Structure 1
Amino acid sequence: MATNMKPPPAAADFLKHHGWNDAQILPVAGDASFRRYFRVQSGDRRAILMDAPPPHEDPKPFIAIAEYLKNSGFSAPDIFARDLTHGLVLLEDFGDKRMREHLDYRPEDEDAIYRQTIDLLRKLHRAPAAALRAYDGQQYLLEANLLTDWYCPAQQLDVDTESFDATWRQILEPVIKAQNPPVTVMRDYHAENIMLLEDGRLGLLDFQDALIGHPAYDLVSMLQDARRDVSDELEENMLSYYLTDHDKDAAEEFRGHYAILGAQRNTKIIGIFTRLSVRDGKERYLDFLPRMWRLLEKDLCHPALAPMKQWFDRNIPVEVRSQPIPVSEATR
């Protein structure tokens, strides 16, 4: 299903009202949601127009979290103008130097840039948490259920959903206890949402779904990236770097929680990417599934996940994981 990149009908009046009446409106890359983005150019001025159309999208959380991040000393886009009725927001343009593509061309910068992303998380986790709802057990389970709701039916698998839920509740209990006090969790903190700014800082994007929860979650999001291969060596080096100020026992406990949240996140993403293909016709997301299974299987090897590994071994055959059935065929 192709994304319509024609500007929304209300865009021209919105821009004119805010002093951009002679601007060009050019499409830029979107994401996996209903949101679309356009670059607005007027002379030497540039901005980004976010189209977050109701009722599918609500730009208010993005605006609120952008303001929280900026007030906490981080580089989130300035908000130039907003029209909440039509879901239009005019944002600061962070340019085109995205972490993902920069590292594709300059792999020698990988260690330094990943260290910078870890430094940002360490700073964020020392800051007072945003006024957001908690990443609680119900939310974790709802997300994990995307696998049994979408992936398993698409692969024609009849699985034990009752024990799936019970096992997740058991495994997540120590994680939930440990996220007190909580930290701000951006939830999509990875190389495609990080801009490398001219002043050397990291520009943050796509944080509208933020919650408050465990500090390991965004670390997993960055180091077990769904869209970019991160070597086991780099992952270990950056995890160790984050844990520099933890004693041995605290670091060991954190690593267990990291593996649990990695498994939860990767389980969720397998379900989401399947849904994007089955429901929305975005079959390109199936290309990420081999990476997601590799990451999930690595997490399941941690002793803290032994009961969950048993569930996967009983319910989803290894051959289905290693050679996924094409969803387009499984759902005919």
Structure 2
Amino acid sequence: MSAPTRREEALEWALGQLGWTQWSSKTVSSDASFRSYYRIGSGADRFIIMDAPPEHEPVQPFLDIGARLRTAGLHAPRVLAADPARGFLLLEDLGSRPYHLVLDPANADELFDDALQALRVMQSRVETEGLPAYDAARLLQELALFPDWFLRCHWRIEPTDAELDDWDLLCALLIRWALDQAQVFCHRDYMPRNLMVSTPNPGIIDFQDAVLGPISYDPVCLFRDAFLSWPSERVDAWLESYRVRGLAAGLPLPESSDLWRRTCDLMGVQRHLKVIGIFARIRYRDRKPEYLDDVPRFFAYLDAAIARNPELAPLERLIAAWKGRRQLAQ
């Protein structure tokens, strides 16, 4: 008789918590991590099981950050039961309508208004004591994903010593812009895929990697997303509205709209380079090739930032040189 799978173990554990004898279940999603999610239901009741193998994805950060968000009045899923040693959580079901499947040009203002109001609460009221710092070492480690995984594994090129010198200077520039901002609670993946249309709106998920980080990081995540793109004029208007309303609410945002726009652009470049590297790592380490399909969107974001920020000219030259030598891996 074969050993039970983790899904079977997770379902057996959850049923023991709920005391159900009649039930149904289905896979909700698996993400870019090692976690899996299942919806379990009986009659009108529905819950989510998180299965996070503890050797890869300890659940304690999820429990800690979720409690901080709920204490601040934000809609993170309630935890009904937990077995951290096995990596199983039984969670409130926030529904099946993530922002990225619901957003359209007509409803975007309303939905993003709710998301930005939640973000203002997050950046002003959520307890940050004990959070890891989004410091220079962490920012640089993330930037290194681009040459280590995308250039070397996907484009199959080795940067020259001169190119690496230019790359180091670019990284220093991006890190300086990140650290010169106010540091606040930072979800670190505050994008439409991780926001659920719910009551109260939005439901917030995938928050376990939160840090104390740059105030522009989460607003940039929201609007320069892996799955949805918006006209730059509309993104600029949303970001400026966040600055104005955030200042009125007491958030430590720049008084200058131009400085805020440049801050968001350069913070975005750090994230875009990181995400491109992550998508390549998921492809070549984790054997999930579909994430690379969204890489052109991030190069488009980089092109837009380069076009209006002269200090990014070295990045334009580097990308052009590397693109000219690329040999795509199969």
C-alpha distance in structure 2 between counterparts of 1:41 and 1:7, whole Å: 19
Aligned to 2:55: 55
Deviation at residue 17 of structure 1 after TM alignment: 3.0
Alpha-carbon RMSD: 2.3
Deviation at residue 291 of structure 1 after TM alignment: 0.4
2:275 equivalent to 1:256: no
Aligned to 2:95: 95
Q: 1:146 to 1:20 in 2, by over 3 A?
A: farther
C-alpha distance in structure 2 between counterparts of 1:17 and 1:200, whole Å: 30
C-alpha distance in structure 2 between counterparts of 1:174 and 1:313, whole Å: 18
2:314 equivalent to 1:315: no
Deviation at residue 177 of structure 1 after TM alignment: 2.9
Aligned to 1:230: 230
C-alpha distance in structure 2 between counterparts of 1:168 and 1:31, whole Å: 28
Deviations along 1:247-289, whole A, 9 cap, x unmatched?
A: 9843332222211110000000111111111222211112101
Paired amino acid for 2:133: A
C-alpha distance in structure 2 between counterparts of 1:233 and 1:200, whole Å: 29
Q: SS state of the match for residue 8, structure 1?
A: helix
Choose 122-131 or 39-48, whichever is displaced more. Answer: 122-131
C-alpha distance in structure 1 between counterparts of 2:166 and 2:127, whole Å: 34
C-alpha distance in structure 2 between counterparts of 1:48 and 1:167, whole Å: 43
Q: Number of matched residues?
A: 314
Deviation at residue 35 of structure 1 after TM alignment: 0.4
2:276 equivalent to 1:270: yes
8 A contact 1:81–1:90 mirrored in 2: yes
Paired amino acid for 1:108: A
Deviation at residue 63 of structure 1 after TM alignment: 0.9
TM normalised by structure 1 equals: 0.87
Aligned to 1:3: none
Deviation at residue 163 of structure 1 after TM alignment: 3.4
Aligned to 1:184: 185
Deviation at residue 137 of structure 1 after TM alignment: 0.8
Q: 1:299 to 1:324 in 2, by over 3 A?
A: farther
Aligned to 2:132: 133
1:103-252 paired onto structure 2 within 5 Å? 103=103, 107-131=105-129, 132-153=131-152, 154-159=154-159, 160-179=163-182, 182-197=183-198, 199-245=199-245, 246=247, 249-252=255-258
Paired amino acid for 2:49: L
Identity between Structure 1 and Structure 2 (%): 30
Choose 170-179 or 29-38, whichever is displaced more. Answer: 170-179
Deviation at residue 7 of structure 1 after TM alignment: 5.0
Aligned to 1:287: 293
Deviation at residue 162 of structure 1 after TM alignment: 4.0
1:289-308 paired onto structure 2 within 5 Å? 289-303=295-309, 306=311, 308=312
C-alpha distance in structure 1 between counterparts of 2:164 and 2:326, whole Å: 20
Deviation at residue 18 of structure 1 after TM alignment: 1.1
Q: SS state of the match for residue 299, structure 1?
A: helix
